[in-house]
Amino acid sequence: MPGRNRVTLREVAEHAQVSVATVSRVLAGNYPVATETRRRVEQSIQALDYVANVHARALAGVAPRTVAFVLPDIRAQAFAHAAQGVEEASAEHGALCLICTTQGDPERERAVFHLLREQRASAVILIGGVIDDEEYCKRITDLSNGLTAADSRLVLCGRPPVDGVPSIEYANEAGAYAVTQHLLSSGHQRILFLGGPTSGPATTTVTDRLAGYRRALGHPGWVQPSDFTRESGYQQLCARLPEDFTAVFAATDLVAAGARTALRSHGLRVPEDVSLVGYDDLDLAEDLGLTTVRVPYEDLGRAAVHLALSSRTEHPVLETSVVVRTSVAHF
Amino acid sequence: MPGRNRVTLREVAEHAQVSVATVSRVLAGNYPVATETRRRVEQSIQALDYVANVHARALAGVAPRTVAFVLPDIRAQAFAHAAQGVEEASAEHGALCLICTTQGDPERERAVFHLLREQRASAVILIGGVIDDEEYCKRITDLSNGLTAADSRLVLCGRPPVDGVPSIEYANEAGAYAVTQHLLSSGHQRILFLGGPTSGPATTTVTDRLAGYRRALGHPGWVQPSDFTRESGYQQLCARLPEDFTAVFAATDLVAAGARTALRSHGLRVPEDVSLVGYDDLDLAEDLGLTTVRVPYEDLGRAAVHLALSSRTEHPVLETSVVVRTSVAHF
DNA sequence: CTGTTAGCGCGTTCAC
DNA sequence: GTGAACGCGCTAACAG
């Protein structure tokens, strides 16, 4: 039976002694076919191990939905969770899910987008930190227009919205505000914010978190730049360590993990000597007993798909919440 | 310019005052076209924002390569890393990368495979623990035959090889042997293996690791079942905790994380009171200072793609290595 | 109920 | 160098 495949409709038709139209009909199932005929056709399909050709099908007008999820790096847990949401929601809609990584390379991003337009993707969902400037707006607008013209949709995920482009966000600033508030109400006064670009402009992810921190504080506070990596968190906090603060607000859990190591290597305990909070609520937050802000990444991905596959153009904002563990001392 | 898309070759041809054949030629670039003509066509393509239709193209014989990576759950870090490798290698080959998750549901797995055959995927790579029985062999063989018949390829990744199906593995048993040896040579005598099915048959992932443990020990040792989750590691170790062992070999880092929590909640310190090793070398191993076995998941994914896109049918085995950190005490 | 046929958009012989 | 025409596999009218 594993005989030469690439079996076509016609071959099935011949085998079953019917016309191609009839075979097409039993396949689609949306048209009356005599029970006896149907059975014969189904047998032939089985016997020949026939599998329809999407390309021919698409060309003939029945395009299977495809949603593409474009992200910088699937190894980042937050993105992986979002991807999971996208995958599940796509499956629910009977859509195929394409996952493309760009490694943050604009060149590669362009290539990916071109590929996706060629694929006639029903929707493309974009996630990953960005710098919110005019260049960004223009680029997104162009992308969106290109996609829209091809009956597709661009949906922004956890990114600053752009006029006319549907997007789904989470309450980023509010989460930062809440966790800072948590620190303040625990009696902390001097709270260091660990995050922000070590060089160049900042992504909105961190500027929003910083804004929340400052709103809660009521003043600019103390900021130590750090990239969104464990390593950078470690090094940047070390650079600041002689100073006296009673708590550190790391821009992400990963940074918090690095900060924790830095603290420890300086003989400082968490939370006895210094309190620590993070952001994202990754698995490691649980390992570390880290108080952090939970971001519903899976829901974010799921919502993005729903938005993409509907024709709505709203900008929902998902809630974030503080998850209290054991990394904050109360005075 | 964002005017109605779905621009076809013909429209470009009309715009450029040439025939469709000519446009097709400048697009392919593999045929002589007068410089002047070529320029005109290129301008028209730009002006109309023309994007080729893969489906039509595929139907006409120029199929873009597509490699599909089928895995249980993208949230598992090990799989995410493998996916990264697959993605990168696919990109290098100019192939599109499809990522499909099955949630371990056989039903969903079938659906995914059907979808992939419809898509005429050039190759499909399968990862995720399995029970190595006759049913498995038969299923894989059928899948492989179906794919082969359609000019596609099935590649097994980190799974027990099946006759005639190319696969790529890592030295699973050897890694377990090595890390157990490391424990033994550090003076440990009573080492508990934490892993294996809490019910039903075991996947080869864990049976191989258990085999390595036993080979190093020279006898059956002590085994406490545990699923591959943090939670299970915690509970299953707690169930065993009154006993006296000086070290725990957790079947995965995740299990080790759970085990560590269990140890701590019983007032036992790592490594002073009990030593602990894991398997996989996920990020959390670094956070926890966990001595573990490094599995080159990204290379695994990369190698799978190379194997899939070549016509070789070998069974390479990637090396594993012990990463020594601070979770093992030396006597 | 079932068969015939005209495209879907593109690559590719063939002639010119 | 360039154009006209056929076919890839399938769906959707349109006839019977």
Contact status of A2 with chain B (Cβ, < 8 Å): yes
Instruction: Check whether residue B200 and residue B240 sit in a common domain.
Output: yes
For chain A, say whether B287 makes contact (Cβ under 8 Å): yes
- Measuring from the CA of residue A10 to each C1' atom, give the nucleotide at the shortest distance: D9
Q: What pLDDT, in 10s, does the model give residues A289-299? A: 999 999 999 99
Give a yes or no: residue B246 inside a domain.
yes
Q: Which whole number is the average pLDDT over A50-75?
A: 93
CA distance B239 to B261: 13
User: CB of B309 within 8 A of CB of B64?
Assistant: no
| One domain for residues B303 and B158 | yes
List the structure tokens of B127.
């990862």
**B146: closest chain A residue by CA:** A2
pLDDT digits (tens, 9 = 90+) for A126-148: 999 989 999 999 999 999 988 88
- Say if the Cβ atoms of B5 and A146 lie within 8 Å: yes
Residue that finishes a domain, picked among A27, A42, A59: A59
Q: For the purposes of burial, counting CB atoms within 10 Å of the CB of B94, is it exposed (0-12), middle (13-18) or buried (19 or more)?
A: exposed
What are the contacts of B183-187 at 24+ separation with CB within 8 A?
Answer: B183/B247, B183/B249, B183/B275, B183/B277, B183/B328, B184/B216, B184/B217, B186/B275, B186/B328, B186/B329, B186/B330, B186/B331, B187/B330, B187/B331
How many whole angstroms separate alpha carbon B248 and alpha carbon B183?
A: 9
Q: Identify the CA nearest to B180 among candidates B292, B59, B102, B72.
A: B292
Helix (H, G, I), strand (E, B) or coil at A295: coil
pLDDT at A1: 34
What angle do helix axes B172-185 and B204-217 make, rounded to 10 degrees? 40
Question: For the segment A26-61, what is each residue's pLDDT rounded down to a tens digit?
Answer: 999 988 999 999 999 999 999 999 999 999 999 998
- Asked whether residue B329 is domain-assigned, the answer is no
Based on the fold, state whether residues B129 and B104 are members of the same structural domain: yes
Quick one: pLDDT at residue A264?
94
pLDDT of residue B31: 86
Pair type for strands A321-323 and A292-294 = antiparallel
Residues A253 and A220 in one domain: yes
Distance in Å from D10's C1' to A29's CA comes to 15
Say if residue A28 is in the same domain as residue A84: no
Interface test with B, best of A7, A9, A55 (most B CBs within 10 A): A55
Q: Which of B7, B74, B305 to mutate to test the interface with A (most CBs of A within 10 A)?
A: B74
Encode pLDDT of B163-180 as tens digits: 999 999 999 999 999 999
Cα dihedral value A222, A225, A229, A232, nearest 10? -100
Residue A287 sits in the same domain as residue A185? yes
pLDDT at position A2 over 50:
no
Name the residue among B74, B119, B288 with its Cβ closest to that of A80: B74
Residue B117 belongs to a domain: yes
Which backbone phi and psi does B40 adopt, to 5 degrees? -60, -45
Across the interface, whether the CB atoms of B59 and A59 are under 8 A apart is answered: yes
Say which CATH number the domain at B17 has: 1.10.260.40
- Does the residue B326 lie in any domain? no
From the list A2, A51, A57, the residue facing B117 with the nearest CB is: A51
Q: Is residue B27 part of a domain?
A: yes
Check A75 against B75: CB less than 8 A apart. no
- B251 and B157, same domain (yes or no): no
Contact A59 B54 (CB under 8 A): no
Is residue A140 domain-shared with residue A248, that is, in the same domain? no
Which of B123, B126, B131 has its CA nearest to residue B157?
A: B126
3-class DSSP state of B125: strand
**Of A59, A77, A94, which one is at a domain's C-terminal end?**
A59
Q: If phi over 0 gives left and psi between -120 and 50 gives alpha, with beta otherwise, what is residue B151?
A: left
**What is the pLDDT, as a whole number, of residue A146?**
87
**Distance, angstroms, CA B64 to C1' D15?**
39
Range(s) of the domain holding residue B22: 9-59
Same domain, A165 and A177: no
- Interatomic CA distance for residues B23 and B50, integer angstroms: 11
Identify the pLDDT of residue B4: 40
Quickly give B270 CA vs D3 C1' distance in Å.
79
CB contact under 8 A, B287 and A283: no
Q: Are both A21 and A165 inside the same structural domain?
A: no
The predicted structure's pLDDT at residue B314: 84
- Total domain count for chain B? 3
pLDDT confidence of residue A5: 52
Residues B204, B276, single domain; the answer is yes
* pTM (two decimals): 0.91
Q: With a 7 Å cutoff on the CB, does B62 touch strand C?
A: yes
What CATH number is attached to the domain comprising B263?
Answer: 3.40.50.2300
Q: B280 in a domain, yes or no?
A: yes
Question: Is residue A1 included in any domain, yes or no?
Answer: no
The per-residue pLDDT string of chain B (331 residues; one tens digit each, 9 = 90 and over) reads 333 458 999 999 999 999 999 999 999 988 889 999 999 999 999 999 999 999 999 999 888 899 999 999 999 999 999 999 999 999 899 888 888 899 888 888 888 899 899 999 999 999 999 899 999 999 999 999 988 888 899 999 999 999 999 999 999 999 999 999 999 999 999 999 999 999 999 999 999 999 999 999 999 999 999 999 999 999 999 999 988 899 999 999 999 999 999 999 999 999 999 999 999 999 999 989 999 999 999 999 999 999 999 988 889 999 999 999 999 999 8
Residue B325 falls inside a structural domain = no
Please, which pLDDT band fits residue A324 given cuts at 50, 70 and 90? Answer: very high
Q: Is there a single domain that holds both residue A118 and residue A53?
A: no
